[in-house]
């Protein structure tokens, strides 16, 4: 199993009456709610938590990209990942990912990911999302019906920019580049790639065809995810993929651990409530620009089946959120049991653990994270033993890693260069 | 009025045809065109009307090859050719008006009479057009109709949001139609038309509901200023769906074109 400690980086100070006074946490969120001085502390705290979790045995630490979003203040995950690359070792840097249709030209992603891979010594796990409609269409102005075509072209360009040792001309529809020749190049020859998807058949096929891992990043939990993931595995079988390795799939799950189930509710319910009530308050008009989904996907009925509850999350109590599986919370044993159900039920080898929730303060987050790492994760580690050597979907770091901050002292420098001072 | 099909280079095109008289091509807005549209019936009293559907509208085939404004403009010119028409009266509503303008600007000698009913295609920073693509269905009537109550009644007839099959059908229709419209309207309905309007040679009549809350009348004046000799007919107590709210007055204004 591969466990990634994932941080969305939510803004923590959305007011109590946010739902009543504001129409959306995303796209047209009120900038007056943002305080740069507070953000200074928040970014550093979130990066500290990512670094902390890397010392507890998680396989990866994860970041993602959102724009104009009150629950994800990370428009550039690469900036965060660059900081993490210097301050962590051994752990995978899961950048899930860069919305490649938004970069102009997309070789920028090939370059930045290559830089991250070089700086981190081959620890990058790359992600290429199409991007949500809110980010891609409403914030970044991409034409909905052309987004996928542009995405696929960006993907082909990035792959070739990594793989082709010689300069080449790229005459795309959206990108005209006479000399593609990125410098630097990634450490990893076969970059592990994860693709976030939301139930479209095209994305299932894209992952199967390219040997990419399919990641379902939902906030609705593992019970509602069953049909979608089953759709994926059915497709894997239908398309005669060479295997059904669980590492072909990943899932994001909100997890809170305490000594007991009761204690978990006492410690975490207000933060979970903050997340589901305020952070997921999105104007429905921004949810899905017409043309963004393919007709095939709408026809499959996937949207209604996998969508969040029709009347939103706002009314769900702690009990509802737990029972319906949106959140896995409780004692280490409760969490272990439910995680096992999740892992087996969805057949997923990659878990993106959402352990920071909403406005959770750092001490509670550290507490929950440590309990999970020490009392839950070890017991789940060896699931799917027959695929334990499947490393197609994970990074392969260099054996010898540079040590950051390792300059010689000034006296030694003076001696070495023969100077007098 | 009959629904027929004509072949074009890009895709077979569905079009409504009806009436007798001078040939008139009508290009619909982003909401599409229904068989029972009263505006169409009224136009057909004195004209031989052809109303082609953009790919993806109604039951027509989608066309992935049509991506941008030039593609749409040339495709629509192909449709006029395929219908065997030479210099018909060209009329467009909203998005259709934008396409008609582009056709008249691109090939001015092929369009000598142009009817523009609150066309899209320009952007004025002081008068931002509401984001049609972020609007919920129940929010639309207030922008589209002067008589919001009547408009709401019209727009919600047959709506069955609690029926999953109806909802799926609606989502598919919306994705097909507005997905196509988005290629030239999203996120801002400006594809550079303002720099081409000077090329239009056609006798031009602009028709505008003076209570238009989607594309406010400031745009009427911008079009009038940019198209030489254009005449503006303002219609009182009408919003963007002026063709439905004041059918007779719109048709009367267009009759100035012959």
Residue A77 has pLDDT above 70, yes or no: yes
Largest distance between two CA atoms of chain A: 77
In a mutagenesis test of the B interface, which of A132, A153, A286, A290 is the best target, namely the one with the most B β-carbons within 10 Å?
A290
Q: Predicted confidence band at B169 (pLDDT cuts at 50, 70, 90)?
A: very high
Write down the H helix ranges in A55-189. 77-87, 107-119, 133, 144-163
Q: How many CB atoms lie within 10 A of CB A152?
A: 17
Instruction: Verify whether the Cβ–Cβ distance B186 to A289 is below 8 Å.
Output: yes
Q: Chain A within 8 Å of B190 (Cβ-Cβ)?
A: no
Q: Chain A within 8 Å of B168 (Cβ-Cβ)?
A: yes
Q: Chain A within 8 Å of B62 (Cβ-Cβ)?
A: yes
**Residues in A touching B167 (Cβ below 8 Å):** 304
To the nearest whole Å, the CA of B46 is away from the closest chain A CA by 37
Instruction: Verify whether the Cβ–Cβ distance B187 to A285 is below 8 Å.
Output: no
Instruction: Verify whether the Cβ–Cβ distance A304 to B164 is below 8 Å.
Output: yes
Q: Is B84 exposed, middle or buried (0-12, 13-18, 19+ CB in 10 A)?
A: exposed
pLDDT given for residue A148 in this prediction = 95
How confident is the prediction for chain A on average, in pLDDT? 95
Q: How many CB atoms lie within 10 A of CB B234?
A: 17
* Mean of pLDDT values over B220-238: 98
* Mean of pLDDT values over A126-152: 97
Alpha-carbon distance of A217 to A205, in angstroms, equals 17
pLDDT given for residue A316 in this prediction = 87
C-alpha distances (whole Å) from A119 to each of A60, A64, A184, B174, B192 are 16, 19, 11, 46, 44
Q: Predicted confidence band at A305 (pLDDT cuts at 50, 70, 90)?
A: low
| Cis peptide bond N-terminal to A97, omega within 30 | yes
Instruction: Verify whether the Cβ–Cβ distance B183 to A137 is below 8 Å.
Output: no
Q: Predicted confidence band at A303 (pLDDT cuts at 50, 70, 90)?
A: low
First-to-last alpha carbon distance for chain B, in angstroms, is 21
Give me the residue from A146, A293, A301 closest to B175, CB to CB.
A293
A193, β-bridge pairs: A126
Q: Chain A within 8 Å of B176 (Cβ-Cβ)?
A: yes
Give me the residue from A137, A146, A291 closest to B175, CB to CB.
A291
Q: Predicted confidence band at A375 (pLDDT cuts at 50, 70, 90)?
A: very high
Angle at A339 between CA A336 and CA A343, to 5 degrees: 135
Q: Is A410 exposed, middle or buried (0-12, 13-18, 19+ CB in 10 A)?
A: exposed
Q: Predicted confidence band at B107 (pLDDT cuts at 50, 70, 90)?
A: very high
DSSP assignments along chain B, one per residue: -EEEEE--SSS-EEEEEE--SEEEEEE--TT---TT-HHHHHHTTTEEEEEEPPTTSTTPPP-TT--SHHHHHHHHHHHHHHTT-SS-EEEEETHHHHHHHHHHHHSGGG-SEEEEES------TTSPPP-GGG--GGGHHHHH-SSHHHHHHHHHTT--TT-HHHHHHHHHHHHHHHHHHHHHHSSSS-SSGGGTGGG--SEEEEEEETT-SSS-THHHHHHHHHSTT-EEEEETT--TTHHHHTHHHHHHHHGGG-
Alpha-carbon distance of A374 to B227, in angstroms, equals 74
- Complex confidence, ipTM: 0.95
pLDDT given for residue A307 in this prediction = 60
pLDDT given for residue A346 in this prediction = 97
**Residues in B touching A138 (Cβ below 8 Å):** 133-134, 187
Query: Which residues neighbour B156 within 8 Å (Cβ) at sequence distance 6 or greater?
Result: none
* Mean of pLDDT values over A111-139: 97
In a mutagenesis test of the A interface, which of B175, B178, B185, B190 is the best target, namely the one with the most A β-carbons within 10 Å?
B175
pLDDT given for residue A304 in this prediction = 60
Alpha-carbon distance of A112 to B98, in angstroms, equals 41
| High-pLDDT (> 90) share of chain A, % | 88
Alpha-carbon distance of A354 to A342, in angstroms, equals 14
Name residue, tokens 């001015």.
Answer: B108
To the nearest whole Å, the CA of A12 is away from the closest chain B CA by 26
pLDDT given for residue A41 in this prediction = 98
* Mean of pLDDT values over B33-41: 91
To the nearest whole Å, the CA of B57 is away from the closest chain A CA by 13
Instruction: Verify whether the Cβ–Cβ distance A141 to B187 is below 8 Å.
Output: yes
Q: Per-residue pLDDT tens for B112-153?
A: 999 999 999 999 999 999 999 999 989 999 999 999 999 999
Residue A353 has pLDDT above 60, yes or no: yes
pTM listed for this prediction: 0.96
To the nearest whole Å, the CA of B12 is away from the closest chain A CA by 19
Q: Chain A within 8 Å of B70 (Cβ-Cβ)?
A: no
Q: Is B26 exposed, middle or buried (0-12, 13-18, 19+ CB in 10 A)?
A: buried
Give me the residue from B136, B175, B183 closest to A284, CB to CB.
B136
Q: Chain A within 8 Å of B157 (Cβ-Cβ)?
A: no
Q: Which of A377, A346, A116 is nearest to A247 (CA)?
A: A346
pLDDT given for residue A418 in this prediction = 83
DSSP assignments along A388-409, one per residue: TT--TTS----SS---TT-PPP
**Residues in B touching A137 (Cβ below 8 Å):** 133, 186-187
**Residues in A touching B64 (Cβ below 8 Å):** 149
pLDDT given for residue B158 in this prediction = 85
CA B28 remoteness from chain centre: 3
* Mean of pLDDT values over A52-62: 98
**Residues in A touching B132 (Cβ below 8 Å):** none
Instruction: Verify whether the Cβ–Cβ distance B179 to A286 is below 8 Å.
Output: no
In a mutagenesis test of the B interface, which of A28, A144, A172, A307 is the best target, namely the one with the most B β-carbons within 10 Å?
A144
| High-pLDDT (> 90) share of chain B, % | 92
Give me the residue from A138, A143, A298 closest to B175, CB to CB.
A298
Instruction: Verify whether the Cβ–Cβ distance A144 to B176 is below 8 Å.
Output: no
Please, are residues B73 and B100 in contact by the beta-carbon 8 Å criterion? no
Strand order in the sheet with B231-235: B2-6, B13-18, B47-52, B22-27, B89-93, B113-117, B203-209, B231-235
Q: Predicted confidence band at B24 (pLDDT cuts at 50, 70, 90)?
A: very high
Q: Per-residue pLDDT tens for A197-238?
A: 888 888 999 999 999 999 999 888 899 899 899 999 999 999
Q: Per-residue pLDDT tens for A161-201?
A: 999 999 999 999 999 999 999 999 999 999 999 999 888 88
Please, are residues A182 and A111 in contact by the beta-carbon 8 Å criterion? yes
Q: Tell me which chain B residue has its CA closest to the CA of residue A293.
A: B175
Query: 3-state DSSP call for residue A251?
Result: strand
Q: Chain A within 8 Å of B5 (Cβ-Cβ)?
A: no
**Residues in A touching B182 (Cβ below 8 Å):** 143-145, 289-291
Alpha-carbon distance of B147 to B129, in angstroms, equals 20
Angle at A348 between CA A347 and CA A351, to 5 degrees: 150
**Residues in A touching B164 (Cβ below 8 Å):** 301, 304
Q: Tell me which chain A residue has its CA closest to the CA of residue B30.
A: A290
Instruction: Verify whether the Cβ–Cβ distance B134 to A138 is below 8 Å.
Output: yes
In the structure encoding, which two tokens stand for residue A378, read together?
């070890």
pLDDT given for residue B163 in this prediction = 87
**Residues in B touching A292 (Cβ below 8 Å):** 179
**Residues in B touching A293 (Cβ below 8 Å):** 175
- Based on C-alpha coordinates, what's the Rg of chain A? 22
Q: Per-residue pLDDT tens for A254-301?
A: 999 999 999 999 999 999 999 999 999 999 999 899 999 999 888 876
**A224 backbone dihedrals φ, ψ, rounded to 5°:** -70, -20
Q: How many CB atoms lie within 10 A of CB A239?
A: 11
**Residues in A touching B171 (Cβ below 8 Å):** 298, 303
Residue A118 has pLDDT above 90, yes or no: yes
A-B CB pairs within 8 A amount to: 71
Strands A2-6 and A350-354, bridge-based pairing: parallel
Q: Per-residue pLDDT tens for B189-215?
A: 999 999 999 999 999 999 999 999 999
Give me the residue from A143, A286, A298 closest to B183, CB to CB.
A143
**Residues in B touching A146 (Cβ below 8 Å):** 67, 183
């Amino acid at each position: 199993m591969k466990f990634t400690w994932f941080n969305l980086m939510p803004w923590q100070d959305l007011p109590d009456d946010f739902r009543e006074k504001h129409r959306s946490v995303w796209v047209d969120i009120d900038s007056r709610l943002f305080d740069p001085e507070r953000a200074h502390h928040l970014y550093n705290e979130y990066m500290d938590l990512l670094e902390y979790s890397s010392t507890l045995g998680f396989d990866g630490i994860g970041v993602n990209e959102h724009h104009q979003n009150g629950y994800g203040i990370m428009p550039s995950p690469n900036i965060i990942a660059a900081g993490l690359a210097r301050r962590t070792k051994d752990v995978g840097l899961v950048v899930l990912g860069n919305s490649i249709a938004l970069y102009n030209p997309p070789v920028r992603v090939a370059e930045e990911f290559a830089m991250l891979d070089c700086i981190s010594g081959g620890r990058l796990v790359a992600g290429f999302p199409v991007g949500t409609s809110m980010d891609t269409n409403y914030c970044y102005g991409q034409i909905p019906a052309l987004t996928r075509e542009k995405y696929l072209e960006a993907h082909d360009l990035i792959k070739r920019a990594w793989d082709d040792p010689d300069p080449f001309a790229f005459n795309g529809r959206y990108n005209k580049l006479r000399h593609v020749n990125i410098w630097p190049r990634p450490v990893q020859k076969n970059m592990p790639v994860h693709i976030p998807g939301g139930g479209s058949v095209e994305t299932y096929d894209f992952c199967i065809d390219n040997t990419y891992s399919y990641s379902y990043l939902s906030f609705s939990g593992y019970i509602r995810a069953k049909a979608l993931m089953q759709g994926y595995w059915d497709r894997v079988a239908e398309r005669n993929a060479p295997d059904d390795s669980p590492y072909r799939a990943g899932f994001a799950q909100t997890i809170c651990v305490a000594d007991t189930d009761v204690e978990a509710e006492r410690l975490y319910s207000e933060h979970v409530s903050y997340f589901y009530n305020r952070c997921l308050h999105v104007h429905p008009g921004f949810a899905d620009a017409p043309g963004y989904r393919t007709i095939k996907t709408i026809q499959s009925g996937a949207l209604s089946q996998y969508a969040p509850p029709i009347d939103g999350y706002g009314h769900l109590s702690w009990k509802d959120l737990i029972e319906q599986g949106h959140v896995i919370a409780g004692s280490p044993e409760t969490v272990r049991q439910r995680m096992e159900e999740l892992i087996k039920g969805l057949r997923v080898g990659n878990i993106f653990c959402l352990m920071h929730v909403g406005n959770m303060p750092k001490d509670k987050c550290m507490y929950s994270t440590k309990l999970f790492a020490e009392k839950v994760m070890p017991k789940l580690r060896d699931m799917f033993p027959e695929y334990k050597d499947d490393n197609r979907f994970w990074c392969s770091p260099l054996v010898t890693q540079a040590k950051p901050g390792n300059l010689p002292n000034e006296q030694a420098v003076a001696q070495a260069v023969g100077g007098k001072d | 009025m009959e629904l027929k099909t004509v072949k074009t280079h890009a895709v077979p095109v569905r079009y409504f045809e009806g009436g007798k008289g001078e040939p008139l091509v009508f290009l619909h807005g982003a909401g599409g065109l229904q068989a029972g549209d009263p505006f169409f019936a009224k136009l057909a009293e004195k004209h031989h009307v052809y109303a082609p559907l953009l790919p993806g509208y109604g039951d027509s085939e989608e066309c992935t090859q049509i991506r941008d404004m030039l593609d749409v403009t040339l495709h629509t010119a192909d449709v006029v050719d395929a219908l065997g028409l030479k210099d018909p009266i060209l009329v467009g509503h909203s998005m259709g008006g934008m396409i008609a303008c582009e056709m008249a600007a691109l090939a001015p000698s092929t369009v000598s009479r142009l009817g523009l009913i609150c066309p899209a295609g320009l952007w004025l920073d002081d008068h931002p057009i509401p984001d049609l693509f972020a609007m919920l269905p129940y929010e639309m009537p207030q922008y589209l109709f002067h008589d919001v109550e009547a408009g709401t009644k019209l727009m919600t007839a047959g709506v069955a949001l609690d029926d999953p099959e109806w909802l799926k059908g609606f989502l598919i229709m919306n994705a097909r139609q507005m997905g196509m419209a988005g290629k030239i309207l999203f996120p801002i309905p400006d594809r550079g038309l303002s720099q081409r309007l000077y090329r239009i040679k056609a006798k031009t009549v602009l028709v505008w509901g003076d209570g238009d809350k989607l594309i406010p009348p400031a745009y009427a004046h911008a079009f009038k200023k940019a198209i030489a000799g254009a005449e503006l007919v303002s219609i009182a107590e009408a919003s963007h769906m002026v063709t439905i709210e004041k059918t007779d007055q719109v048709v009367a204004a267009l009759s100035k074109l012959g």
